[in-house]
Amino acid sequence: MQILFTPGPLLTTKTVKEAALVDMGSRDPKFVQIIQNIRSTLLKLSNVEEKDYTAVLLQGSGTYAIEATFHTVLKRETDKVLVVSNGAYGERQAKILTAINKKFVKLTYDENQKCLVEDIIKAIEEDPTITHLSMVHSETTSGIINDIDFVHRLSRRVVFILDAVSSFGAYEIPVSKLNIDFLISTSNKNIQGLPGFAFVIANKSILTQCKGNAASLVLDLYDQEEYMLKTQQFRFTPPTHVLRCFECALKEFEEEGSIKGRQKRYTELQQYLSQQMQSLGFKLFVDPKDQGCIITTFLFPKDPNFNFNQFYDYLAAKNLIIYPGKMTKAETFRVGSIGALTMENMHQLIEAIKAFIAETNLQVQ
């Protein structure tokens, strides 16, 4: 079995996978109940009231839900988004907005720098045509956690869209308190379900005004929600097995101590990894004060003979799967600390990296 140090797809437990062994009709009352349980649990984890927010479930991966949110929420004529970007996922938002022809401006930071709250506030205050703010909480490109507790300081209300794809479940995100209107995450991140659907925690008072905005049939959150409310069904074939697995994953999530418990394990894994790698001479890409517990980026070793593919293949031959870097400027690789990983798995990885260094006579620094 491969051990995934990759933050998506990530490792899931055997019991979560086993929950897929049952076929269920989408109209079966038990399945309908599973959907309702998932929706209400996601709202509880978001610290919101059911009267104010709804959890829209959408087939597909995180990017589908981000694109669906932009399609649904933005009016082409009047709305303009401020996209704040310090990595590939911020850049992806700009790419989506360009592709679907919605107006935006972008505030860009280096990939190893946190987005600066004062700049964001200034950009919004200075441009009254900005109606929406969109950013990434945990920038999985680098591992940086961006600040998200500042929207209450704005002198006017902008709609706040947050990509929490890799942070939801590992960080407390009090959605209504932070004025987040649309929070996006997926089944195969920190809840540790199988890949297959994404969810959007949506402000109902805004979502109900979004009828007809989306220039897409499938990526219309308004329609998805309206149909769900009327029929308790998905509009199109639901990923029944994946939803069963997700319900099981939510139970295991509770058993581990919910967000606090999961954050504790991920943090222990990340800190051990970071300390051990630094003691082997590897350098961190992100300042430890901005580093989250999701993924860690390491600079390539100084040795000119270092070959990432050789390193990857060596570890993969031992069933240890790491991630290449995604930086545009620096040469890096990444190691995730989320999913059903144990400390024993992290020990295995460190021992294998030590063996690689010894066998190839690698000069790390």
Ligand X SMILES: Cc1ncc(COP(=O)(O)O)c(C=O)c1O
What character string, x for contact with ligand X (CB under 6 A) and - otherwise, covers 180-209? ------x-----------------------
Per DSSP, what are the bridge partners of residue 138? Answer: 145
CB of 323 to ligand X, least distance (A): 10
Gap between the Cα atoms of 365 and 234, Å rounded: 54
Gap between the Cα atoms of 339 and 358, Å rounded: 29
Considering only 9-17, 132-140, 227-235, 344-352, which stretch makes contact with ligand X by CB under 6 A? 132-140
Measured from the CB atom, the residue of 196 and 301 that comes closer to ligand X is 196
CB of 88 to ligand X, least distance (A): 8
Looking only at residues 55 through 114 of this chain, which bind ligand X when binding is defined by CB under 6 A? 61-63, 89
Measured from the CB atom, the residue of 91 and 357 that comes closer to ligand X is 91
Q: What residues contact residue 321 under an 8 Å CB cut-off, 6+ apart? A: 2, 3, 4, 5, 6, 315
Looking only at residues 3 through 42 of this chain, which bind ligand X when binding is defined by CB under 6 A? 8
Q: Number of residues in contact with ligand X, rule: CB under 6 A? A: 12
Measured from the CB atom, the residue of 62 and 238 that comes closer to ligand X is 62
With beta carbons less than 8 A apart as the criterion, state whether 102 and 67 touch.
Answer: no
Measured from the CB atom, the residue of 8 and 301 that comes closer to ligand X is 8
What character string, x for contact with ligand X (CB under 6 A) and - otherwise, covers 156-185? -------x-xx-------------------
Measured from the CB atom, the residue of 166 and 203 that comes closer to ligand X is 166
CB of 285 to ligand X, least distance (A): 16
Measured from the CB atom, the residue of 62 and 325 that comes closer to ligand X is 62
CA 225 to chain centre: 22
CB of 5 to ligand X, least distance (A): 14
CB of 8 to ligand X, least distance (A): 4
Measured from the CB atom, the residue of 31 and 291 that comes closer to ligand X is 291
Measured from the CB atom, the residue of 12 and 138 that comes closer to ligand X is 138
CB of 313 to ligand X, least distance (A): 23
CB of 67 to ligand X, least distance (A): 9
Q: Which residue is nearest to ligand X (CB)?
A: 62
Q: What is the 3-state secondary structure (H, E, C) of the chain?
A: CCEECCCCCCCCCHHHHHHHHCCCCCCCHHHHHHHHHHHHHHHHHCCCCCCCEEEEEEECCHHHHHHHHHHHHCCCCCCEEEEEECCHHHHHHHHHHHHCCCEEEEEECCCCCCCCHHHHHHHHHHCCCCCEEEEECEECCCCEECCCCCHHHCCCCCEEEEECCCCECCECCCCCCCCCCEEEEECCCCCCCCCCEEEEEEEHHHHCCCCCCCCCCCCCHHHHHHHHHHHCCCCCCCCHHHHHHHHHHHHHHHHCCHHHHHHHHHHHHHHHHHHHHHHCCCCECCCCCCECCCEEEEECCCCCCCCHHHHHHHHHHCCEECEECCCCCCCEEEEECCCCCCHHHHHHHHHHHHHHHHHHCCCCC
Supply 284's token pair: 């961190």
**Residue selected from 43, 82, 136, 194 as contacting ligand X according to rule CB under 6 A:** 136
Measured from the CB atom, the residue of 31 and 199 that comes closer to ligand X is 199
CB of 258 to ligand X, least distance (A): 21
CB of 321 to ligand X, least distance (A): 15
Measured from the CB atom, the residue of 54 and 138 that comes closer to ligand X is 138
CB of 186 to ligand X, least distance (A): 5
List contacts with ligand X (CB under 6 A).
8, 61-63, 89, 136, 138, 140, 163, 165-166, 186
